[in-house]
Amino acid sequence: MVVQKFGGTSVADPDAIRRLIEIVRAARHRDGAGPAVVVSAMSGVTDGLLKLASDGAAGRASEAHAGVATIRDRHLAAAADLAPGNTELVASLTEQCQQLDAVVGTIATLREVTPRMSDVVAAAGELLSSRLVAAALLHAGLNGEWVDSRRVVVTSDDHTQARPLANETNAAMRAAVGSSIEAGRVPVLGGFVGATVDGYTTTLGRGGSDYSGALVGAGVGASEIQIWTDVDGMLTADPRVVTSPRLVPRLSFAEAAELAYFGAKVLHPATILPAVEHDIPVRILNSRRPEGTGSVITAQPAPDATAVTAFACKRDVTVVDITSSRMLMAYGFLRQVFEIFERFKTAVDVVTTSEVSVSMTIDDRRNLEPLVAALRTLGDVSVESEMALVCAVGDRLRAEPEIAARVVTVLEEVPLRMISQAAARRNITVIMRQADLGHAMQRLHEEFFG
Alpha-carbon separation of residue 341 from 157, 160, 223, 326, 346 (angstroms): 21, 20, 40, 19, 5
The verdict on 394 binding ligand ASP (CB under 6 A) reads no
The total number of residues shown for the chain amounts to: 450
Smallest distance, ligand ASP to C-beta of residue 50, A: 9
Query: Could you say which of 34, 48, 208, 219 contacts ligand ASP (CB under 6 A)?
Result: 208
Of residues 105, 153, 104, 107, the one with CA closest to residue 126: 153
For residue 308, the Cα-to-chain-centroid distance in whole angstroms is: 23
CB of 165 to Mg ion, least distance (A): 23
Residue 279 carries which side chain, given as an amino acid letter?
D
Nearer to ligand ASP among residue 18 and residue 206 (C-beta): 206
Query: Angle, to 10 degrees, between the axis of helix 87-110 and the axis of helix 61-82?
Result: 170
Least distance from Mg ion to the Cβ atom of residue 256, Å: 14
Q: Which CA distances in Å does 365 have to 70, 290, 320, 361, 430?
A: 32, 39, 11, 11, 20
Residues lying near ligand ADP in the complex (CB under 6 A): 7-10, 40, 207, 229-231, 234-235, 237-240, 264-266, 310
Burial of 409 (0-12, 13-18, 19+ CB in 10 A): exposed
Q: How many CB atoms lie within 10 A of CB 153?
A: 30
Pairing of strands 186-190, 144-147: parallel
Give least dist CB 129 to ligand ASP, A.
Answer: 9
Q: Decide: is 46 part of the binding site for ligand ASP (CB under 6 A).
A: yes
Cβ proximity to ligand ADP, 215 vs 310, nearer residue? 310
Q: How far is the CB of 257 from Mg ion (least distance, A)?
A: 15
Q: Choosing among Mg ion, ligand ASP, ligand ADP, none, which partner's interface includes residue 449 (Cβ < 5 to 8 Å by kind)?
A: none
Q: Binding to Mg ion by residue 207, rule CB under 5 A?
A: yes
> Closest CB to ligand ASP among 228 and 333?
228
Q: Transcribe 105-171 into DSSP letters.
A: HHHHHHT---HHHHHHHHHHHHHHHHHHHHHHHHHTTS-EEEE-HHHH-EE-S-TTS--B-HHHHHH
Query: In the range 110-169, which residues lie near ligand ASP by CB under 6 A?
Result: 125
DSSP class of residue 177? I
Cβ closer to ligand ADP: 230 or 364?
230
Q: Which is nearer to ligand ADP, 145 or 238 (CB)?
A: 238
264 makes contact, choosing from Mg ion, ligand ASP, ligand ADP, none, with CB < 5 to 8 Å by partner type, with ligand ADP
Q: Which does 217 bind (CB under 5 to 8 A by kind): ligand ASP, Mg ion, ligand ADP, none?
A: none
Q: Which stretch binds Mg ion (CB under 5 A): 1-9, 76-84, 152-160, 187-195?
A: 1-9
Q: Which does 235 bind (CB under 5 to 8 A by kind): Mg ion, ligand ASP, ligand ADP, none?
A: ligand ADP
d(CA 105, CA 103): 5
Please provide residue 155's backbone torsions phi and psi, each rounded to the nearest 5 degrees: -130, 170
For the bound state, the minimum distance from the C-beta of residue 97 to ligand ASP, rounded and expressed in Å, comes to 17
Distance CA 24, CA 2 (A): 10
Partner whose footprint covers residue 310, from ligand ASP, Mg ion, ligand ADP, none (CB < 5 to 8 Å by kind): ligand ADP
* Residues that bind ligand ASP in the complex, under the rule CB under 6 A: 7-8, 40-41, 46, 125, 191-192, 206-210
Interface residue list for Mg ion (CB under 5 A):
7, 207
